[in-house]
């Protein structure tokens, strides 16, 4: 589905509800489309708290230290997804109004996409090939698990979110060697996210362009209050998110430099579906 087609299918979105004095807005989009920067800028501009889960790399440092996302088995990926879901549920329940960086549906979409593309889509060809074979005996179980997981998060999303803003894929990922997914995975995830929104019937609107263009459009669609000028909010968001990303990227480079890259090690991880 093209961006124009998605926009044509978008359900009219509600404004913030003055009677309830709240809006629960989720910023949707696949890996690397700028969700965090857009959600942070919206939060700064409106004064509405941003809720989120820690990134996969942040969680791994505590949950499964010493591994990258590319090296995780299916069991470990499920553990990672559940931990992120736990964080989202906790953080979204803590405030009456929020701008959610992603949503409870996202971890299910990423898991579903991995079932179709490969459990480690950002890994090299050797690891992907071995995992495809190693996973055959258990793939049916994991698919049933993802189906059940999808039912749970979709029901919660219908109860929780007032509306979605969906950011389409408009540019390729940064090719720095540390990304845990592939372009095929990103495009498939984008399609699955939009399909989920259509299925749920939650009002949503596809918003593209620069961060500032996105911000102005979302403020217009939802008639949100503005407490910080848009340009200032974008500048602050870019600075904050950039600083946090730089720390994670530096950590990823250190891990890569220290890691044994032998074929034996890669195959050992690949065999652990």
How far, in Å, CA of 17 to CA of 21, rounded?
6
Find residue 145's DSSP bridge partners: none
User: Is residue 16 a contact partner of residue 223, using CB atoms and an 8 Å limit?
Assistant: yes
**Polymer length of the chain:** 273
Q: Is the entire prediction scored with pTM above 0.75?
A: yes
User: Is residue 154 a contact partner of residue 5, using CB atoms and an 8 Å limit?
Assistant: no
Give 13's pLDDT tier (boundaries 50, 70, 90).
very low
Specify the 3-state DSSP secondary structure of 224: coil
For the segment 37-84, what is each residue's pLDDT rounded down to a tens digit?
Answer: 999 999 999 999 999 887 777 777 777 777 777 777 778 888 888 988
User: Is residue 52 a contact partner of residue 101, using CB atoms and an 8 Å limit?
Assistant: yes
Specify the 3-state DSSP secondary structure of 173: coil
Share of the chain above pLDDT 70, in %: 72
């Amino acid at each position: 589905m093209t961006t124009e087609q998605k926009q044509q299918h978008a359900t009219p979105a509600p404004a913030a509800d003055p009677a309830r004095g709240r809006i629960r807005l989720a910023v949707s989009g696949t890996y690397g489309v700028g969700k965090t920067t857009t959600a942070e800028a919206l939060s700064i501009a409106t004064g509405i708290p941003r809720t989120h889960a820690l990134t996969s790399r942040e969680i791994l440092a505590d949950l499964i230290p010493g591994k990258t996302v590319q090296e995780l088995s299916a069991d470990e990926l499920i553990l990672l997804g559940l931990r992120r879901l736990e964080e989202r549920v906790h953080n979204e329940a803590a405030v009456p109004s929020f701008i959610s960086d992603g949503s409870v549906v996202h971890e299910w979409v990423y898991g579903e996409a991995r079932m179709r593309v490969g459990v480690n889509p950002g890994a090299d060809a050797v690891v992907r090939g071995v995992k495809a074979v190693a996973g055959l005996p258990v793939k049916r179980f994991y698919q049933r698990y993802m189906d059940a997981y999808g039912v749970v998060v979709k029901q919660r999303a219908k109860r929780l979110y007032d509306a979605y803003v969906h950011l389409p894929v408009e540019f390729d990922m940064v090719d720095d060697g540390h990304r845990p997914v592939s372009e095929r995975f990103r495009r498939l995830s984008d399609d699955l996210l939009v399909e989920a929104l259509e299925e749920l019937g939650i009002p949503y609107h596809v918003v593209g362009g620069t961060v500032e263009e996105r911000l102005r459009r979302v403020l217009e669609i939802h008639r949100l209050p503005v407490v910080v000028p848009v340009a200032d909010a974008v500048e602050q968001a870019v600075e904050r998110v950039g600083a946090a990303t730089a720390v994670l990227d530096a950590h990823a480079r250190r891990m890569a430099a220290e890691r044994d890259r032998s074929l034996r090690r890669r195959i050992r991880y690949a065999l652990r579906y």
